[in-house]
Each structure stands twice: as structure tokens, then as C-alpha cells.
């Protein structure tokens, strides 16, 4: 696609640059000559402007300093400090009389300052704002501000409360808000990142303008106050001279990140006398422009080629300028790349942590093992794993905030300890808050002895003690493979729950001589009730492997058989299984081998799971039929929605949508729209064109919604449909 060179902003910039250079070279001698005769006058005018600028900036800085002293005064007030307290110790100090006195105090502060128009002390945690006019909650205060025209935006308080980490004694980076009448400061009255008290000070622009008018000289025509980004915060115009006769000076505030731009009226000085000189300059200027055009076109050629490629490949045809367009494309490319990297990293970290938690809880199967092979987790079946469960001993005298800080410090210190352990072992993994516990998975190339494990646990405990953290450590026995992680963890947790001794480092000694933890028992029963036979088999296989390693005696095998049978029977009774299904269950035999026990349990579980799956499918069919019947009955009810159906049938909105589409063969909203519009077409032919009544009759809450749905469905407006099909389009 051909692109006009003259219309390119980049070419225009190059051309103007060269033109400016040539113009400067041509006129420099004349400018110097012209300025020589006026140096003294210009120097005197410059000094006067500098003095006036200093005077105005000093006056404005004094105003900001005066306003800032209000924040310091409030910060040193005892009632401000007392009301910040999160306790009710000082509640008695804030009765009605005291509140009126505090408001009067703020009123006196406003009266004592010429520039402070109003003050508000915000306590976000208490939903309270104290002002000279009284005490408000946050919502009422926002309404009060808009009624008084102190602020314009409805999100003002949200913006102020979101400024955590950006406060100072006087919010020095910018005004928090500016309106035609006020400038708003924010002063933090607390050292916390999320402050408990914030002072908002409203400055009267009219007072500032009057004081500036009093001190401004005759040559001052405008004063503009801008923030660091160049945005205007206040503009005072004293005169409107020709823009060519205006000189501006900019000075930075000493108290805030503001710039004062002061405009002065300046008389023009004669440039040159006589027409001959002007003709000569005009001729040289024309030649300079031609040369500037040639150079600019030469420099712009590579950019023009690149822009043609971008336009052809991406269709980009930005009006903001060639270089801006190129920079925009490059920025988008890098931004997309960084966003993708962050997304992948975040997903990988989340996936890794979920897999580690699954391994600790024992919820692993072939799918999880397959995921483990493609993840960054180094756990494999070839190594031996032991789990160290740590318990921080909390001080009951600590406040909730102190406990949170100590817990965070505890995790940070543990991370450093685990990093050091990783240098000594093949791999160590810290897992935070899994079932309320903090666990460390330690990897060994071969089966370690008990002394080695206890030495590691004592090292961790000693490192925590050096940081004044009291703790207990429970060491699970080492086991091989991925299943060993869960086994070791369960043993440590069971010991922690039952151990009442005073030892700080404890080697896990589960009380039972067989492996059947309560948590695994509850998981087995839940999986059976859900009909999840895959998970049931995984749990039974894990229990079998762990008990096989223990070489159980015949009585303990019988005990395992009895426990499994009782759990499965209890689950069957809870599900109210039919007697003929219960008759298929095989009773335990005292002389059964361990393999037979678990094979029998698996067959029984398969029977229950099959029945659970059948019931789920039947229940889903019943819900499907009832759902469609309910929708057809209430098709013209304006309250009919997926959420209402979810509440009616006690299922999620997503499930309702899925079930309805499967039953009715189409989307819920498309279904009810078709039904309603079909009825509306009948009514239009019977009653004539009366859209408000018909909209209400077919379930729309407004005439506008009805007309939009009708046009989308039928392809024409209701009036046109009525006219084309013999209805009365003039009816009301």
C-alpha cells in the first residue's frame, strides 16, 4: 500500500528539524546583532521576572507549608491517636460532647488558616470521617463532599484509601484531587502501609488566587500550577496578551513535586529595519527549505520502508506517527512475550505446589504420576522420602497481628533452612499450610537410618531456636517412591496428634501396628459414596502396599478385614442400598490372607460404586425433566434466570446451563427467547401494536428489552411485523 511521505509525522519531524537548523544558521548572526542593542533591557526584564517568579513560588510554598502544618497538628493531637486504637479502651472519651468539641477544633483550624477551606480525618477501619461539620461514615462523607462541591469524582474515597505506601506528612507527590474550587491534600496520620487515620485537607482556590493577585506585578499575565507529569492543577489568568508576547518561567516547588509556570507579558523588540534585508532572508529561507526537504526524505526512506511492511503485514495504519507506531508494535511484542512467560511460570508454580500437596495427602494416581514426569518436581519412584512435620509453639500472649508477623517470619526462616538442607541432600521441599501443617519433604538416594533422620530434625529445630522460635518436629519414617511421601507424612501427623510428651524432636511411632489412618478411612468412604471406583482402587492399593510392608500377623490381617468390611457396610447402609445388593457382599473370614482381604474389599466397593453411579445418572435425568417442565411452566415469568433455576434445584448455575442444554437441545436464553417472541408475534396479530403490554405479558421487564430481542430474533421491529402481517400498527 502506497503511503504519502508528506503525511508522515516522522517525515514532518525530520523536515522541521532540518528547517530549524538551517533557519538557526541563517538568522543567528541577525539575532545576535538584534539582541546586542537590547541586552541590558532584556537582562533587567529577566531579573525582574526572576524576582517575581521567586516571590510567587515562595508565596505558594508558604501556603503548602501552612496546609502541611495542619496534618502535623492533627498527627500530634491526642484524640487522633486515641481514635486510631483498634481496641475499645478509649471509647468513653468520644461521647457526643467530645465529638462536638473535636469538630469545633477542626472548625477553628479552618478559621485560623486563610487557605484551608475544610478538613476531613478518615478512619478506614472504623468507617468514620471526622469533619468540622460533624462525624460521617464513608458513604455519607462522599455524598457530603459532592454536595459541597469539594470533590467531583464518586471514587474519591476509594482512590484515597488505595494510596497505601504513597503517603507522607504532606502528600508531596501531587494533590489527591483538584476541582474548579478546591485543591485536596492527603496526609497520613499513621506509619502503617494501610493507615488507620488519614487527613484530607481542602484548599480554597479563590483564596490562593486572591493572594497571587495581590503580589503579582503588572507584567504577570498567568500563573499555572502543574504536577510532575505536567497536568494543570490550578490556572490563574490575569491578562490575555498576544501569545507571541508571552514569556514563561518554570520553577519547582520546594515543598511538593509541583512546577510553577509563570507567564509574563513581554514587548517585542525590532528584528530588522528596511525591506532589503527581509527580501534577502526570504530568498535564503526558500533555499533552506528545499535543502531541508531533500535531507529529510533521504533520512526518512528506511522508516518509510519499514512502515510499508508493517501496514502490509498487520494492517496497522496509525495516525499517531510512524515512530510511535513502530514503538507500539515492539512494545506489544515484548509485553505479550513477558505476559506469556509470567503466565507459564505462575501456572507451573501452582501446578507443582498442587502436585506436592497431592503427594502428601496421598491423592496420586496414574494421571498425577504422568504429570509429575513433565513437571519441575524432582520426586520419582527411585528415591526414598521422609517427611518432617513442624509445629510452631505459639505464645498465647501474642496479639493477632503479632501472631501473623511471627508466622510470616517463621516461614521465611524455614525457607532459608530448607535451602541450606538442599545443599546437603539431593532435594528438599518446603510445603506451607497443607491441612494446617508445615512439612518438609527430604529426599535420600538410599534408605537412611533413624539416627540420620533425627540429626536432620534436630538441626532444623536448633536453627529455629537460634531465631527465638519455639517448635516441635515430628519425623515420619522413610519410605521409597511417591507413595512413601504420603505414608511418611501420615505417620508424622498421626504421631503429632496423639503425642502428649515434652520432647521437641519426636520420631513418628503410630499407635496402631497396622496402617489404616482415619484420614484414609474417610477418603475411602467418600470415594465409594461418590462412585469414584478409580480413586477407590488407588486408595485400596496404597493401603495394601503399606500393610504388606509391615508383615502383619493373622490377627492384624483379620482386624484390617473387619475394618474394611465395617466401613463398606456402613457406607452401603448410609446409601440405603437394596437388600439384594447387600446380599452380594462377602463376609470376612478369619483365615484370609492380606491379598484376599483387599481383593474382597475391592469387589464390594465396585458393587456400591456401580449403584452410586446409577443413582447419579437417574437423579440427573429427573433433574433434566423437572428443569424443562419448570421452565415451560414459568416461561413468561420475568424473574426466570439460570440463577433462579440453580436456587430452585440446588445446583450451580453452570450445571443448570449444561443440564438444560443437554435436555432441551439448545441454550437456555435462546430457548426462552424463542418461546417468548413466538408468543409476542401471536399477541401482535391479536391485540395490535401495544409493545408495553406485550412485553409485560411475555416476560420482559421493559419495552426496550422486548424490542431488542424481537429485532434480533425476527429481523424486524414489532411495528413492522405487525404492519406486514395484518395487525393494527396504530394500536396503543
Is the pLDDT score of 19 beyond 70? yes
39: Cα separation from own chain's centroid:
60
Average pLDDT over residues 14-19: 78
Which CATH architecture fits 378-507?
2-Layer Sandwich (3.30)
pLDDT of residue 729: 66
pLDDT of residue 294: 77
Neighbour count for residue 498 (Cβ, 10 Å): 10
Is the pLDDT score of 171 beyond 50? no
Sign of CA dihedral 26, 27, 32, 33: positive
Scanning the structure block, which residue is given the C-alpha cell 482381604? Answer: 597
Is the pLDDT score of 2 beyond 50? no
pLDDT classification of 167: cutoffs 50, 70, 90: very low
Do strands 505-507 and 471-475 pair parallel, antiparallel, or not at all (unpaired)? parallel
Distant-in-sequence, close-in-space partners of 588: CB < 8 Å, separation ≥ 6: 558, 561, 562, 564, 565, 597, 600
pLDDT of residue 264: 86
Residues of the chain within CATH 1.10.10.60 domain(s) are 634-724
> pLDDT per residue over 304-361, tens digit each?
667 666 665 555 555 555 666 666 667 767 777 777 777 766 666 666 677 777 777 6
Average pLDDT over residues 28-53: 75
The segment with the largest mean pLDDT, out of 97-101, 289-293, 363-367, 491-495, is 97-101
3-state helix, strand, coil in the chain (%, to 5): 60, 15, 30
Mean of pLDDT over the chain: 78
- Phi and psi (nearest 5°) for 370? -70, -40
Is the pLDDT score of 120 beyond 50? yes
Go through the chain and tell me how many residues it has. 732
- Phi and psi (nearest 5°) for 386? -130, 140
Domain 634-724, CATH 3.40.50.2300 — does that match? no
Beta bridge mates, 260: 225, 251
Is the pLDDT score of 511 beyond 70? no
Is the pLDDT score of 367 beyond 50? no
> pLDDT per residue over 256-312, tens digit each?
888 889 888 876 655 555 566 567 777 777 887 778 777 776 766 676 667 666 665
pLDDT classification of 620: cutoffs 50, 70, 90: low
pLDDT classification of 242: cutoffs 50, 70, 90: confident
> pLDDT per residue over 636-660, tens digit each?
888 888 888 878 877 778 777 887 8
Reading the block at residue 298, the C-alpha cell is 533521504
* 100-104, 271-275, 439-443, 692-696: least confident range: 271-275
Average pLDDT over residues 129-137: 89
Is the pLDDT score of 579 beyond 80? no
Is the pLDDT score of 153 beyond 80? no
pLDDT of residue 375: 56
pLDDT classification of 578: cutoffs 50, 70, 90: confident
Q: How far is CA 589 from CA 565, 566, 594, in A?
A: 11, 13, 11
Distant-in-sequence, close-in-space partners of 679: CB < 8 Å, separation ≥ 6: 636, 697, 698
Residue 220 three-state SS: strand
Residues of the chain within CATH 3.30.70.270 domain(s) are 378-507
459 vs 2, residue with greater confidence: 459
Q: What CA–CA distance (Å, rounded) separates 258 from 367?
A: 61
* 197-201, 383-387, 427-431: least confident range: 427-431
Q: Could you tell me the pTM of the whole model?
A: 0.37
pLDDT classification of 166: cutoffs 50, 70, 90: very low
The segment with the largest mean pLDDT, out of 273-277, 442-446, 512-516, is 442-446
Nearest CA among 435, 516, 447, 523 for reference residue 478? 447
Amino acid at each position: 500500500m502506497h503511503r504519502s511521505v508528506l503525511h508522515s509525522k516522522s517525515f514532518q519531524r525530520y523536515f522541521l528539524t532540518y528547517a530549524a537548523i538551517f533557519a538557526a544558521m541563517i538568522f543567528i548572526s541577525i539575532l545576535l546583532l538584534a539582541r546586542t542593542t537590547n541586552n541590558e533591557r532584556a537582562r533587567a526584564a529577566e531579573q525582574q521576572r526572576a524576582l517575581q517568579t521567586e516571590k510567587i513560588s515562595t508565596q505558594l510554598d508558604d501556603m503548602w507549608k501552612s496546609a502541611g502544618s495542619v496534618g502535623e497538628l492533627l498527627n500530634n493531637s491526642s484524640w487522633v491517636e486515641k481514635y486510631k486504637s483498634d481496641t475499645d479502651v478509649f471509647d468513653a472519651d468520644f461521647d457526643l460532647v467530645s465529638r462536638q468539641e473535636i469538630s469545633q477544633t477542626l472548625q477553628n483550624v479552618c478559621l485560623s488558616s486563610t487557605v484551608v477551606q475544610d478538613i476531613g480525618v478518615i478512619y478506614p477501619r472504623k468507617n468514620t470521617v471526622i469533619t468540622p461539620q460533624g462525624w460521617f461514615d464513608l458513604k455519607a462523607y462522599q455524598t457530603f463532599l459532592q454536595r459541597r462541591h469539594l470533590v467531583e469524582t464518586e471514587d474519591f474515597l476509594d482512590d484515597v484509601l488505595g494510596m497505601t505506601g504513597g503517603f507522607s506528612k504532606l502528600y508531596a507527590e501531587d494533590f489527591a484531587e483538584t476541582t474548579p474550587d478546591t485543591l485536596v491534600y492527603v496526609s497520613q496520620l499513621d506509619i502503617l502501609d494501610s493507615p488507620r487515620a488519614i487527613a484530607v485537607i481542602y484548599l480554597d482556590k479563590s483564596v490562593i488566587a486572591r493572594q497571587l493577585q495581590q503580589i503579582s506585578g503588572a507584567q504577570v499575565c498567568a500563573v499555572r500550577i502543574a504536577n510532575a507529569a505536567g497536568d494543570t492543577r490550578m490556572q490563574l489568568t490575569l491578562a490575555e496578551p498576544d501569545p507571541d508576547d508571552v514569556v514563561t518561567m518554570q520553577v519547582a516547588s520546594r515543598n511538593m513535586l509541583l512546577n510553577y509556570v509563570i507567564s509574563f507579558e513581554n514587548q517585542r523588540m525590532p528584528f530588522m529595519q528596511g525591506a532589503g534585508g527581509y527580501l534577502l532572508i526570504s530568498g535564503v529561507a526558500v533555499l533552506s527549505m528545499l535543502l531541508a526537504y531533500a535531507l529529510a526524505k533521504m533520512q526518512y526512506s528506511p522508516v518509510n520502508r519499514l512502515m510499508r511492511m508493517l501496514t502490509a503485514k498487520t494492517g496497522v495504519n496509525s495516525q499517531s506517527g510512524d515512530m510511535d507506531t513502530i514503538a507500539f508494535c515492539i512494545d506489544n511484542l515484548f509485553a505479550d512475550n513477558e505476559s506469556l512467560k509470567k503466565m507459564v511460570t505462575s501456572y507451573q508454580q501452582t501446578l507443582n505446589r498442587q502436585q506436592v500437596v497431592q503427594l502428601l495427602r496421598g491423592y496420586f494416581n496414574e494421571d498425577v504420576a504422568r504429570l509429575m514426569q513433565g513437571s519441575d518436581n524432582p520426586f520419582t519412584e527411585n528415591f526414598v522420602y521422609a517427611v518432617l512435620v513442624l509445629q510452631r509453639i505459639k505464645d498465647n500472649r501474642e496479639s493477632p497481628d503479632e501472631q501473623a508477623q511471627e508466622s510470616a517470619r517463621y516461614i521465611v526462616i524455614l525457607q532459608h533452612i530448607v535451602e541450606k538442607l538442599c545443599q546437603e541432600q539431593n532435594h528438599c521441599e518446603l510445603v506451607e499450610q497443607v491441612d494446617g501443617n508445615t512439612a518438609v519433604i527430604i529426599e535420600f538416594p538410599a534408605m537412611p537410618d533413624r539416627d540420620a533422620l533425627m540429626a536432620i530434625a534436630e538441626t532444623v529445630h536448633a536453627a529455629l531456636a537460634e531465631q527465638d522460635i519455639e517448635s516441635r518436629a515430628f519425623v515420619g519414617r522413610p519410605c521409597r517412591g511417591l507413595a512413601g511421601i504420603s505414608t511418611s507424612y501420615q505417620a508424622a501427623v498421626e504421631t503429632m496428634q496423639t503425642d502428649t510428651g515434652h520432647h521437641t524432636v519426636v520420631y513418628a511411632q503410630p499407635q496402631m501396628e497396622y496402617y489404616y489412618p482415619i484420614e484414609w478411612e474417610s477418603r475411602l468412604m467418600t470415594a465409594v459414596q461418590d462412585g469414584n471406583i478409580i480413586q477407590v482402587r488407588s486408595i485400596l492399593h496404597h493401603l495394601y502396599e503399606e500393610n504388606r510392608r509391615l508383615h502383619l500377623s493373622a490377627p492384624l490381617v483379620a482386624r484390617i478385614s473387619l475394618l474394611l468390611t465395617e466401613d463398606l457396610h456402613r457406607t452401603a447402609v448410609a446409601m440405603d442400598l437394596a437388600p439384594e445388593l447387600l446380599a452380594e457382599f462377602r463376609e470376612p473370614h478369619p483365615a484370609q490372607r492380606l491379598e484376599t482381604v483387599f481383593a474382597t474389599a475391592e469387589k464390594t466397593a465396585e458393587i456400591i460404586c456401580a449403584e452410586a453411579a446409577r443413582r447419579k445418572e437417574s437423579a440427573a435425568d429427573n433433574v433434566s425433566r423437572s428443569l424443562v417442565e419448570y421452565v415451560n411452566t414459568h416461561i413468561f415469568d420475568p424473574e426466570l434466570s439460570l440463577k433462579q433455576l440453580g436456587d430452585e434445584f440446588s445446583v450451580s448455575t453452570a450445571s443448570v446451563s449444561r443440564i438444560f442444554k443437554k435436555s432441551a437441545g439448545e441454550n437456555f436464553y435462546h430457548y426462552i427467547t424463542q418461546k417468548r417472541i413466538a408468543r409476542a408475534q401471536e399477541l401482535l396479530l391479536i391485540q395490535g401494536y401495544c409493545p408495553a403490554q406485550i412485553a409485560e405479558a411475555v416476560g420482559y421487564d421493559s419495552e426496550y428489552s422486548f424490542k431488542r430481542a424481537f429485532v434480533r430474533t425476527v429481523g424486524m421491529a414489532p411495528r413492522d411485523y405487525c404492519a406486514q402481517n395484518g395487525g393494527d400498527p396504530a394500536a396503543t
